[in-house]
Structure 1
């Protein structure tokens, strides 16, 4: 028996990294998975390797190896109609929607006066507006199911403590805090809990293969320390542990859950 037997989880950014691991962990606990990922380069200004269609296919395979049912498609969180159709098809196939993990996002670097308009706008549109579209597409199905459930928004420690050369990213991640807090208040009496998760460095391509991050650390390293030099990078399981907990924590809503090795406090 799994903790999520018979339940359905919608996860964005599922092709690899955190999103893939969340899908595997939920499937291992009995959940059916609805998932999406653009599985391509989102913007020219990102400096880490993008997810691919092969990555998405591998996620589907890994979820199925856990015994999980999965409906996953390539698409963009900025495309509201795509997300609405995917959620509707997932609910038709699996019968309900219980949990949402709004995980998709991008990162790029640049000083506030040097970032292009496109760069700043892409960060806001993908990370913040795209997440709002994820919630707009999924909340009606959760309300119709009347099963309660949870929404977990993946923000960042940069949404708690702004970093240099991350003005667009930090703005989007601070915005996600406000989004999660407002929706938590709207859905509290509907038995749907809403929380945000705030990672620091995570062992994913975005987290450890971004050449611009290392350049930023060399220049502004005093702004980026953590309290745990012996554990500088979180694992994807560290993040999934938090996401699974928040999906089961019946007394927790409106929380800002830090998985940041203390970085936001120094």
Structure 2
């Protein structure tokens, strides 16, 4: 099928690379114009190499290559006022808003006894409050449009506990609670709200030395292949991780008319990880 999002406008945070880029490009392939936001800078307490403005520009180029319009913006989801201003200006330029993907997120690792207050707070500020900010900035425009769909990106950590990332688990569980409340609040406005829950995804968030050593502490510099062997143990299917496109396709389904009566659902894209 093609053209499932023809004449739609989609807002995607975390769009410079990874899942956010995959959502932006996949939605453009199906006919949507894109508002693509990313901080394009390091976030304190994280070790993941940051996205750059060049990454965001590449996402914009990929969207335009699909024949769609795009408005890219360097915006921190922790800054509500800047987010509201940029979204309002972009929605005005496009004439409306139909779809929201709250995808921006960070990762870090520490046991609770070792975790600093800053590490805890930064995680919640980005991965939970940032999602709330995105919803807050977008909802008036969805209501004005007469309906729409929101996909909040959670994680398998939003459905189960994981060791050494209690702050991440708490934030991602919080996203599920936010989704369920928003689904109930916004149903009268014909706005559907759902979450997606990936296992490890093949992005820079996991493909870095810090995460590889976390999975293979027995090795000084584990290779991608050595990391993959260890990562497979998380999943039911014989894969170490899923691809950004897999999450984008699930998001596309949830935002399309094929899912017109699906709301308040937590959809795993996890190779069976949560059932292992």
Distance of 1:27 and 1:128 partners within structure 2: 27
2:255 to 223, 232, 247: 247
Q: 1:23 maps to what in 2?
A: 24
Q: Which runs of 5+ in 2 are unaligned?
A: 218-229
Aligned-partner SS, 2:206? helix
Unaligned runs of 5+ in 1: none
Once the two structures are TM-superposed, the CA of residue 32 in structure 1 deviates from its matched residue by 0.8
Superposition CA RMSD, Å = 1.8
Report what 2:212 is aligned to.
214
1:69-218 equivalences under 5 Å are 69-146=69-146, 148-209=147-208, 211-218=209-216
| Count, aligned residues | 262
Q: How far off its partner does 1:252 sit?
A: 0.6
Cα offset, 1:101, TM superposition: 0.2
TM-superposed deviation, 1:218: 4.0
Using structure 1 for the length normalisation, give the TM-score.
0.94
| Counterpart position of 1:46 | 46
Higher mean alpha-carbon deviation, 169-178 vs 82-91, is at: 82-91
Q: Deviations over 1:95-134 (max 9, x none)?
A: 0100100000000001011011111100000000011000
Give 3-state SS (helix, strand or coil) of 1:258's partner. strand
Decide whether the 8 Å contact of 2:36 with 2:60 is kept in 1.
Answer: no
Which of 232, 235, 238 lines up with 1:226 in the alignment? 235
Give the whole-Å Cα distance in 1 for the aligned partners of 2:150 and 2:43.
24
CA offsets 1:176-201 (integer angstroms, 9 cap, x no match)? 00000100010112111000000011
| Cα separation, 2, equivalents of 1:217 and 1:162 | 17
State the alpha-carbon separation in 2 of the partners of residues 3 and 261 from structure 1. 26
1:262 aligned residue: 272
